[in-house]
Amino acid sequence: MAEQAIPAWKKWLEGIGEQGVFFTRFVRNIFAGGFEWSEFVRQCYEIGYKSFTLVGITSFIMGLVLILQLRPTMVDFGAESMLPRTLSIALIREIGPVITAIICAGKIASSIGAELGSMKVTEQIDAMEVSGANPVQYLVVTRIIATAVMVPLLTMIGDVIGLFGGYIAINLTDDISFYLYFHKCIASIEFIDLIPAFVKTIFFGFAIGFVGCYKGYNSNKGTESVGIAANSAVVTASLWIFVIDAIAVQVTNLLYY
Amino acid sequence: MAEKDDIAVADQSEKVDRNEVVIHIKGLKKSFGDKEVLRDINLDLKRGENVVVLGRSGQGKSVTIQCIAGLLTPDDGELDVFGEPVTEMDEDELKQLRIKLGFLFQSGALYDSMTVRENLEFPLTRVLKLKDQQEIDQRVEEVLEGVGLLDAADKMPSDLSGGMRKRIGLARTLIVKPEIMLYDEPTTGLDPITSREISELILNMQRKFKTSSIIITHDLECAKITADRVLVMNDGEYIAEGSYEELQASDNDFVRSFFNEQK
């Protein structure tokens, strides 16, 4: 038993070390000069624009469902008028960023993992490296930064769409004007709600891009490795999102309350 | 008289150049886990020479050229390219060396999200840092013409046949005018006619660009067409060396069986 445990333990430590080396290569290549702007813009389009519909629909349904679920309880307490406030705080502080990040982990981390994994299997990364070009700068830096930029943007758009979903849900049973609803939502949000929520989405985006790139770039050379890289990227990125979220909540509480 | 002297100097320099060893390998060893893939590899590649390494699949032929390109680190032995030890190079030195090395992968390894033209422009803009679009276009057309695929410039790699992908892979490698070419199974998976065309293309490109080459293959036809010198590999070491004709008449059982099996 002990003999089996040691290699697993060593392997885990090796993995941590490899991720550290990969992170160092990423950081060094950000400042190495010759940033790949065209590839960065292409990745922003692939990551941001192509995820917009999915994030939008999910956020709309999330806002709608939250109001439908909250409403009976709020009515029991005679706090029906608090629905816009409750939704906006829940959505902007927690549900919006986490749900958007989880969707992006499923869509973007898997796609980056599979793409780089298949490039590794078909020796495209080796070909880039052996030609004297810099695959980390071209493939990794652009993808990680694009994800760190686009996930916060998607979250912000998703939050607004989610609030709109809430407005529709309230108007299914009650009657509230568009202006009054959004006035109540915005009035209940403070600066302190927005900044931590925004900052943590940058970390979510970074984690999604980093994990996707690391898993794909370091996949083994075999077709099944592509599937493993994609799957492992989703699982690991999702886990990191919850870990970052837990840390973010603690840090926010320490700083502001 | 002066003209004759010039010619003599030129001839002499040609002779000196051709004797220059561009790759020197001595006692190279490489293992993966318990499996010893390279036991004792010794090779000197001279400038302008085509060396073919023949051997069965899974014998570590490709591992040797991956060590030369710095993709793998050998466990032991000397490995010098242009007189510089590859194993002691840092990332920047390795990058500079790789500009002088061309590596044709078995699959062609074309970047499948880019068109053929973008594939060819990639090393020009990223490695040679060329900015003049006219010069870039000229070099792209020159290599495409060289491999006979001028009309494929705007196609995606997925629209190309196996032979065409290898030609474009070769064009992408040659576009930076490397001094040494490393070919990993350039004819594997191709029909005999296309294989022959690729082998002849390798020879033509070597003559045109004056490169030194190591060609890893188990295709005897390819070896026959391209080789100045053939090395036969078995069990992690080179067991025979000579011209194609010399090895064809070899007394060594493995070499004889290798040549006879493929007849």
Domain tally, chain A: 1
Instruction: Select the residue of B98, B107, B111 nearest A132 (Cβ to Cβ).
Output: B98
Query: Which pLDDT tens digit goes with each residue over B220-242?
Result: 889 999 999 999 998 888 888 99
Q: Which residues of A touch B70 (CB under 8 A)?
A: 130
Q: Is the pLDDT of residue A51 over 80?
A: yes
**In three state form, how does the secondary structure of A143-168 look?**
HHHHHHHHHHHHHHHHHHHHHHHHHH
What is residue B9's predicted lDDT score, i.e. its pLDDT? 37
> Testing the interface with B: which of A25, A119, A131 to mutate, by most B Cβ within 10 A?
A131
Q: Which element (helix H / strand E) includes A111?
A: helix A110-121
For residue A5, tell me if it sits in a domain. no
Q: Average pLDDT of chain B?
A: 86
For residue B5, what pLDDT band results from cuts at 50, 70 and 90? Answer: very low
Residues of B in contact with A129 (CB under 8 A): 71, 98
Is residue B15 scored above 70 in pLDDT? Answer: no
Q: How far is A122 from chain B (nearest CA, A)?
A: 6
Residue B4, pLDDT > 70, answer no
Q: Could you tell me if B43 and B23 are in contact, meaning their C-beta atoms sit under 8 angstroms apart? A: yes
| Residue of B109, B30, B65 lying closest to A135 (CA atoms) | B109
- Please give the domain boundaries of chain B with CATH numbers for all domains: 51-68+90-261 (3.40.50.300)
- Residues of chain B positioned with their CB less than 8 A from the CB of A130: 69-71, 98, 101, 103
- For position B147, what pLDDT does the model report? 84
Q: What confidence score (pLDDT) does residue B262 get?
A: 59
Residue A233 inside a domain? The answer is: yes
* Tokens matching residue A36: 């790949």
Q: Do A130 and B103 touch (CB under 8 A)?
A: yes
pLDDT of B53: 93
| β-pair type (B101-104, B180-184) | parallel
Q: pLDDT per residue over A110-130, tens digit each? A: 999 999 999 999 999 999 999
The answer, yes or no, to whether residue B7 has pLDDT greater than 70, is no
Which amino acid, A231?
N
Closest by Cβ to A130, choosing from B96, B98, B112? B98
Q: In what order do the strands lie in the sheet with B237-242?
A: B84-85, B76-81, B21-32, B35-46, B237-242, B229-234, B50-55, B212-217, B180-184, B101-104
Pairwise CB contact (< 8 Å): B126 & A130? no
Mean pLDDT to the nearest integer, A54-65 = 96
- Write down the pLDDT at residue A252: 87
Please give the full DSSP string across B143-194, using - where no structure is assigned: HHHHTT-GGGTT--GGGS-HHHHHHHHHHHHHTT--SEEEEESTTTTS-HHH
Of A48-57, A100-109, B249-258, the one with minimum mean pLDDT is B249-258
Residue B10 has pLDDT above 50, yes or no: no
Report the pLDDT averaged over residues B65-69.
92
Model confidence over A171-209: pLDDT tens digits?
998 889 999 999 999 998 888 888 999 999 999 999 999
Higher pLDDT, B157 or B17: B157
Structure tokens that stand for A253 in this block: 């509480």
* Percent of chain B topping pLDDT 90: 42
Percent of chain A with pLDDT over 70: 97
Residue B261's pLDDT band (cuts 50, 70, 90) = low
* Residue recorded with tokens 């692939």: A46
Q: Which of B9, B44, B6, B11 is nearest to B25 (CA)?
A: B44
When scoring A24, A115, A124 by the number of chain B Cβ atoms within 10 A, the one with the most, hence best to mutate, is A124
A184 occurs within a structural domain: yes
Kindly tell me if the per-residue pLDDT of A221 is higher than 80: no
Q: What percent of chain A has pLDDT over 90?
A: 76
Distance, first Cα to last Cα, chain A: 48
Q: What are the percentages of helix, strand and coil residues in chain A, rounded to 5?
A: 90, 0, 10
Q: How far is the C-alpha of B139 from the C-alpha of B127, rounded, in Å?
A: 14
Contact B175, B164 (CB under 8 A): no
3-state secondary structure of A69: helix
Distance to chain B for A15, nearest Cα, Å? 18
Mean predicted confidence (pLDDT) in B173-184: 91
Summarize the confidence of residues B76-92 as an average pLDDT: 90
Q: What is the mean pLDDT of residues B42-49?
A: 90
The answer, for A122 touching chain B at a CB cutoff of 8 Å, is yes
Question: Has residue A198 been placed in a domain?
Answer: yes
Which B residues in the span 119-158 are in contact with A, Cβ-Cβ below 8 Å?
122-123, 126-127
- The chain-wide mean pLDDT, for chain A, equals 91
A146 domain-assigned: yes
3-state SS, residue B240: strand
Q: Looking at chain B from residue 99 to 118, which residues have their Cβ under 8 Å from any Cβ of chain A? A: 99, 101, 103, 105-107, 109-112
The answer to whether residue A53 is domain-embedded is yes
In a domain, residue A12? The reply is: no
pLDDT 10s digits, A243-252 = 999 999 999 8
From chain B residues 189-228, the ones with a CB under 8 A of any chain A CB are: none
Residue A9 domain-assigned (yes or no):
no
Q: Mind listing the pLDDT tens digit for each residue in B105-155?
A: 988 899 999 999 999 999 999 888 898 999 999 999 988 988 888 899 999
Residue indicated by tokens 């970074």: A206
- Asked if B110 lies within 8 A of A124 by C-beta distance, the reply is yes
DSSP assignment, residue B70? T
Please write the tens of the pLDDT for every residue from A61-80.
Answer: 999 999 999 999 999 998 88
Range of the domain at A96: 36-256
**Is residue A79 helix, strand or coil?**
coil
* Closest-CA residue to A238 (of A215, A217, A221, A220): A215
Asked whether the beta carbons of residue B173 and residue A132 sit closer than 8 angstroms, the reply is no
- Rounded distance, CA B178 to CA B158, Å? 26
Q: Tell me the ipTM for this assembly.
A: 0.81
User: Radius of gyration of chain B from Cα atoms?
Assistant: 19
Average confidence (pLDDT) over B94-100? 90
User: Could B112 and A134 be called an inter-chain contact, meaning their C-beta atoms sit closer than 8 Å?
Assistant: no
The answer to whether B68 and B42 are in contact (CB under 8 A) is no
Instruction: Using alpha carbons, select from A36, A221, A15, A28 the residue that is nearest to residue B90.
Output: A28
Average pLDDT over residues A29-49: 90
